[in-house]
Structure formats: structure tokens, C-alpha cells
Chain A
């Protein structure tokens, strides 16, 4: 097989995906209306399992961590292709999960991240039947649990640790953004800093103004950390909360942050500097400051010239998708740890991501699906193997 054989099939794949529009959207709506906060994805995974069973996939099962699987059987058992979408979202069960559908948009919490990814897993077996794609490799379709935040990719890590099936390549599917091509993982450390002022705190003695001011001191110190231009490094201050009312001094405040860098040494060094700053501020104010590390990633990845990445670029260009190359800290890093060549792909464009009114465009989804099918075909045909 040559890459042109795949590229020639892409218009047909896109058309076939468009013919399944109602099915994709119905799966998206029904999937998206099932709350799936991290550690509570069971109902969403059950829906995925039902879909897999309905279309006759083999080995539809869940594992101890709650991951959901279906295997699309190939003609030989030499190596499997792993297709993953994370099942969890950042929205809790109390959030109104109603999805609304307009002619061009789908709107609702988590539609792009990652209800669409899961809906596409549920639809893919039908699409493969439609285009009569009979793979040689079996395809493992996986709804991965406990991916986000404190989940720290626990579902995928559990699978990779306990899996006995040989895996030749993996594709991670994210609803957004269209054209996303991630093939490397950044070094990352995700943490939470909690400032707690004891109930019996002697305000007159220390002169402190509560947990929020103390946390502000911590933030100022983090901002003073010098970041190198090379290797690329950043500190993301992701969320902050604290206090209870207008007129009550806050006794508790929490900061969530991530350190990201191409270098593991830089991540380590910044982590140490934050620890030092916390120790110093704690001794000055007598406030209790705890640093809780929730997740770590090692930097690494599949190379830019790896055939998997090259084929992804070629397929995207053939579909007029401009590749947006960006490193990832998601599922990709767990795969890289296990030396499995992998890329992350996005399926459509979206706005207001991770807000309750997150919305994604319908029309690009079909090119997004064609891209995914093209990648499966290329991997299955041996075009993405490193020689």
C-alpha cells in the first residue's frame, strides 16, 4: 500500500461520514448528556459499551478501573491499533448537561472535550462498515477513565500496565481543535497549593491578613521565578479559590498550577524553587501551606520525522486541514512512556472550551472523521511503521 491509496480514499470517507451525520450527532447528544466527572464515568462508559455491543464488536468489556473497550476484529493478530478517547469531563454531576443543537453548532458542557471523541468511537464501527474498511490489524476502541486532573491518566496507565495485546500504534481522539497534531509530550508537574490559617491564629502577633493574602505572596514568588526561553517552559496558574464571604477574613485558599517544560530538569528545578518559596512564606506568616503534587509527566515523544507523524501531516493536507503542531500533556505521555508511537488528533473547531456553554462546529467533523479513518488505514497498511 502507498499513501496515495489512502489519500485517494479520503473524499469517499468524508462523504460517508457526512451520511452518518445524524448518528454522530445523536451519539454526541446522548453521550454528552450523561455526566462523567473524573472518577464517575461509569454511566458514560456503559453507554459506549451498549453502542459497541449493538454493532457486534468483539470483547466489549470494562476493566477494574472502569475503562470501556470494544475490539473491531482484524484479519490477523500481529499487532493492534489502539484508539483512545478520554471518557471524563471537568463538569460535575450537578451541572446542567443539556446539549443544544443548531444547524451549524452543538453547544453544551464538555461537547468538545471530550464528548465528541467518545461519540466518534461509538460511530466509527458503522463508518468502517459503510466504507467497507476491513483492517488487517484489530482495532481496540477505548473509552479511558480517570484521565483529567487528579485522575492523572490512571485509566490508560492501568490498561497499558496490564494489557497483553501487542500494540503497534495509538491514536488519541480529542473533539477539539481541528488540525491538532500532537506527537510529543511535555515534561509536566501538576500541583495544588493550599494555604490554611489555623482557627486559633494569633492575628495581632503575626499581622497577616488571611489565607488569600498569603496565597498572593506565594503567587508573587512564583511569578519571580526566571523561566528559560530554551528549553521552552511555562507555569500555568489554572485556578484559584478561597474564602467564604465579603466580610470574613479567609482562612483557606487554594491555587492549582502546572509547570510545563521540554526539559525534565527544568521542571524539577522550578518545583524546588516553589517548595523553597512556600517554606519561607510559611515561616514568615505561621500559616500552614501544603504543596500537593497531583500528576507528573516525563518529556518525550514520537519524532517529527516518524512515519506516523509524517502520514498524519500528509492526510491532513489532503483534506485541507492545516496541521497545528503542539505538544501535549494528555494521554499521549502515557503511551510515550510505553514506547508506543502515538499522535493526538482533533476532530472539529470549538469555542469557549471548558465553559458550560462550550460549542463546536458540525461541518468540520466529517473531515475530522475522514482524517481518523485515513490514519487507521495508513497504520493498518504499514505506512506508519518505522523501518
Chain B
């Protein structure tokens, strides 16, 4: 499948999937179960709204979701209380699979969700979306329901303003355009067709989730794309335009940390895939600088991208879901 064909056949807009009744029928016919996972860390301001909207629209009105779960990294605000008060299943990441220990990072929550949640499909949606709408879940779920060959659906956000020429640039955020897209262009050209490779919203079949490793930090999305691509090919991906996403904008310095984590994950994959066979030992300290009373001083951040193994390697998981190695 070439990029043009993939863009034609595997790129969707959420409005294609307006017929919820039909979607519910198709889901029930395939006997699919679907879990929605919201990873959180101090999201008390937005979590209640997300849960209420998904529960009302995609559980009560149209039974597309079988469970809504919040996997929390140990919020110190009221995130867990608010989420529970609106009827979500709330879990503390550290209490899931306690025997494997606790690591801090969003990827850890996503990984542990595979063990905790029951769905054949898991939809991951970030908790910081200000303009939350049911499309953030059904827009990602629908391609998996209607296209059995698709295994992994990424969100992208593209709301065009008026453009007179009919042609306009589109793409991802700063880290995508400055780091990830150039890297993909060099080493995995087909993956450049994914408009926003770093978007935090995606829906994935369990058979894929349980088979791939999970970096626990910034690199989780990048590693997923590389791992799914190398194992199942571009045809396993779909992407859905969810229009606009309003969220907190991150300062450039924080994006630097994100880029540092992503590039570590990327290099590690490049090495294991023998694309860059020889790599020196990597330094995990990111140095940024600040000026204080006319002198410059460095601020050092230790960012090492740790990884969780494929869930299939965890015996407790295999037992719970009746899987055989």
C-alpha cells in the first residue's frame, strides 16, 4: 500500500461516522467490547466533563463503550474523587500489577490499562481536552469497527480556516514538524503520512497492544508507530480528523524535554531494527540554560526512556486473559 492509496483509504473524518445506531449494530454483530482509558495526573478541572460526556453519549444513549476507566498516576488534587463521582472506574496505576513495581509516566498508565481493562479495543483519550466531545472516542473507534484490517487508529486535528487557493499546509505540532517528521522522512518515509504522530488520542485492538513494548515516558507514541509499522505495515493504521482540539499549550522548554525523550526512543528502535547498528552509550542528561543576575547557569534534567515489555510477556496477564505464549 503506497502513501497516496493509504491517505485515500485509511484517512477519515469523524463526520463520516454520524450514524451511531449503525455503529452499535456493527459492534454488536462482531461481539466486540470497547474500553475507554483516560490516563490522568492532576486533571480535576477537565476530567468530570470528559466522563459525563462519554458516559451519556456513548454508554447511555448509544452503547458503544463498555467501560470508562481513569488510570491515575497519583494525583494530589481531586481528580480521582471527581472522576468517581461521575461514574468512571478509577484505578491508581501503582495498584495495578503491583508485583512489577511502579514507574512514573503516561506510558506506564497506558500499559497497565491493557491488564486492567477488559475491552477487545482500548481507546486512549487524554484528560486535558477543553473542548471535549464524543467524536474524540467514536471517531477513533469507528474505523476499527468498520475495517477489520485496521488495527491502530490515530487522531489528528485539522480545522481549516478560509483558504482561497484550495491548498494549505497541514500537519502536527512543533515537536512533530521539527523532530519526528524529519526522522520519519529519513528512516520510515511511509510513516510521514500520519498527520499527527504524537497525538495522545488513539484506539487500538488488544491483539496489537499486548504484543508491543511501551516506553513509559515521552516516546510511547513514536515507538508504537514504529513497532506496529514494522510488524503489520502501513495498512494496519487508520487516522481520523477530529477537527479542533483545545488544550494547554506547552512552553518550548518542556517541548525540549519531550523531544529528548522521543529521540532516545527513536534511536533505540533504529538500533534494534539494525537501521543504525552502532550507537555509542547515550547520555540521559538534558541541559537547558537560564540567566541569573547576568550570569548563565545550566539546569540539568535526567530523562531516561524506560520501557515496559509487551504485556504478553507478563504471566499474570496471560493468566487473566487466557493467552498462551
Contacts and interface: CB of A to CB of B under 8 A. Distances in A.
A60 B130 CA distance: 31
B45 interface: yes
A24 B87 CA distance: 14
Query: Considering the complex of A and B, which 5 residue pairs feature the smallest CB-CB distances, nearest first?
Result: A26-B56, A101-B48, A22-B56, A101-B49, A25-B52
Given A25-B52, A25-B56, A103 B81 contact: yes
A29 B60 contact: no
Which residue among A22, A25, A54 has the maximum number of chain B CB atoms within 10 Å of its CB? A22
Which residue among A23, A26, A54, A103 has the maximum number of chain B CB atoms within 10 Å of its CB? A26
Contacts of A22: 52, 55-56, 60, 86-87
A33 interface: yes
B48 A33 contact: no
A26 B52 CA distance: 6
Interface in B54-88: 55-57, 60-61, 78, 81-82, 85-87
B61 A23 contact: yes
A101 B133 CA distance: 14
A102 interface: yes
Interface of A: 22-23, 25-27, 29-30, 33, 54, 98-103
Contacts of A99: 49
A29 B131 CA distance: 10
Given A25-B52, A100-B46, 5 more contacts: A22-B87, A98-B131, A101-B49, A101-B52, A103-B48
Which residue among B52, B81, B82, B86 has the maximum number of chain A CB atoms within 10 Å of its CB? B52
Interface of B: 44-46, 48-49, 52-53, 55-57, 60-61, 78, 81-82, 85-87, 130-131, 133, 246
A30 B44 CA distance: 19
Given A22-B55, A22-B86, A98-B131, A29 B61 contact: no
A99 B52 CA distance: 12
B56 A23 contact: yes
A25 B54 CA distance: 11
A102 B87 CA distance: 13
Contacts of A102: 44, 48, 82
A101 B246 CA distance: 16
Given A22-B55, A29-B53, A103 B131 contact: no
A33 B86 contact: no
Contacts of A27: 56
A99 B45 CA distance: 10
Nearest to A26: B56
B216 to A, nearest CB: 30
30 contacts: A22-B60, A22-B86, A22-B87, A23-B56, A23-B60, A23-B61, A25-B56, A25-B86, A26-B52, A26-B53, A26-B55, A26-B57, A29-B49, A30-B53, A30-B133, A54-B61, A98-B131, A98-B246, A99-B49, A100-B45, A100-B46, A100-B48, A100-B49, A102-B44, A102-B82, A103-B48, A103-B78, A103-B81, A103-B82, A103-B85
Contacts of A100: 45-46, 48-49
A27 B133 CA distance: 11
B130 A29 contact: no
A257 to B, nearest CB: 37
Contacts of B246: 98
Contacts of B48: 100-103
Contacts of B57: 26
Contacts of A26: 52-53, 55-57
A26 B56 CA distance: 6
Contacts of B78: 103
Nearest to B53: A26
A54 B18 CA distance: 12
A54 B19 CA distance: 11
A102 B49 CA distance: 8
B244 to A, nearest CB: 12
A23 B53 CA distance: 8
B52 A29 contact: yes
Nearest to B87: A22
Contacts of B55: 22, 26
B130 A98 contact: yes
Nearest to B54: A26
A99 B246 CA distance: 13
A25 B52 CA distance: 7
A26 B51 CA distance: 9
Nearest to A19: B60
A22 B57 CA distance: 9
A192 to B, nearest CB: 34
B53 to A, nearest CB: 5
B198 to A, nearest CB: 23
A33 B78 CA distance: 24
A273 B121 CA distance: 72
Contacts of B49: 29, 99-101
A101 to B, nearest CB: 4
Contacts of B82: 102-103
Nearest to A33: B131
Nearest to B57: A26
B133 to A, nearest CB: 7
Contacts of A33: 131
A23 B87 CA distance: 12
A99 B48 CA distance: 11
A100 B127 CA distance: 13
A56 to B, nearest CB: 12
Which residue among B49, B78, B86, B246 has the maximum number of chain A CB atoms within 10 Å of its CB? B49
A230 to B, nearest CB: 49
Contacts of B86: 22, 25, 101, 103
Contacts of A23: 56, 60-61
A163 B321 CA distance: 62
B43 to A, nearest CB: 11
Contacts of A25: 52, 56, 86
A25 B49 CA distance: 8
Nearest to A23: B56
Which residue among B45, B48, B131 has the maximum number of chain A CB atoms within 10 Å of its CB? B48
A33 B81 CA distance: 24
Which residue among A23, A54, A100, A103 has the maximum number of chain B CB atoms within 10 Å of its CB? A103
Contacts of B85: 103
B136 to A, nearest CB: 13
A328 to B, nearest CB: 31
A90 to B, nearest CB: 22
B85 to A, nearest CB: 5
